[in-house]
Structure 1
Amino acid sequence: MLDALVAHERTGSSTDVNDEYAWMSENCGETFEILTEYVSMKSSAESFGVDSCASHEEYISMDAIRLLYEDGLCSGTADAAARAPDAPAVQQPGGGIAWNEAGDYAGTTQRVCGPLAGGGNDYDDVFLNLGRDYPDPERFQIVIWDIGGLEPIDGGRTLCTKGLITLYNGVAQIELYDPSVIEIYG
């Protein structure tokens, strides 16, 4: 049931889940606590920005931190989520690394995935921001040079692409000339 309620929170589904929440609070106190910690910190991260996972250790359970980490709502690879025993690998569609880990792989060719947080154009160039939107320096950016524009992509959909990861003013990015190498999920 935790997985179903977390999925509901991640998608923002309008399905009425009050009965499930009530049942869980009465019958699965520890699991309900994980869910409420996750939902509370998810809301905080969406409003105020992403903190390191380690900064949450004294406030919430490791299970809630893992859920936040899977969503890219707490950062760092040497932090609480990565150190936690049995921490599940963050699964990306078709494999690859998460947007918030890409900076650790600068200088290598990788497949990177993440939720579309925003984007923009500058003349004929298009910028797609994953995980967090511009101007946040923690975002991952896909730069597509000289294409003029793209068909609109719904925010929150997961994008994946493969290429050489570079850092531009501290922002991890992959530069492309062909938008067809971007995969869209969700």
Structure 2
Amino acid sequence: MTWRAPEINRTPEPCVGDERTMLAGWLDYHRQTLLLKCAGLTAEQLKTASVEPSGLTLLGLVRHMAEVEAWWFRENFLGERVDYAYFTEEDPDADFDVSTANAEADFATYHQQVELARTAVAGRSLDETFTEVGPKQRTFNLRWVYCHMIEEYARHNGHADLIRERIDGVTGE
């Protein structure tokens, strides 16, 4: 039997709530939107770069966002040392190279990273600050991370929309 990306019931975006409820709700909405763009596709379809000349694929976006979740919520905010599934110093864009990828395993990695990100911020103040890993050493607060993650997902979900439409004509949502 051919593996397909699971169907997903997306939770509607929040319309009313305090700041934390709104930020977490919108982030989850965009996480689910990326998965919705992949739902029902085979591993080969998920690996298809369909918007020439771009090499972006839906699976590449899922892999990329798994690493972005780990980077911001765990490596930066918590200060954990993260062993990335794809990124290496020699190939920092390996998340986008899906030529030998296992889609089912990559989806499991994505879900794991989202859960670890949720755990990382549970009960933490949006005002809590941290210093970014790397040469820039900028200071951010958790609120900024939520806003950035919503922005990053929204941008990549636009890419995913175009890729999916070219694969099988599915649009919207």
Please report the TM-score for the alignment, with normalisation by the length of structure 2.
0.23
Q: Name the one with the larger strand percent.
A: 1
**Greater RCO (Cα-Cα under 8 Å, separation 6 or more):** 2
Q: Name the one with the larger helix percent.
A: 2
Please report the TM-score for the alignment, with normalisation by the length of structure 1.
0.22
Larger Rg: 1 or 2? Answer: 1
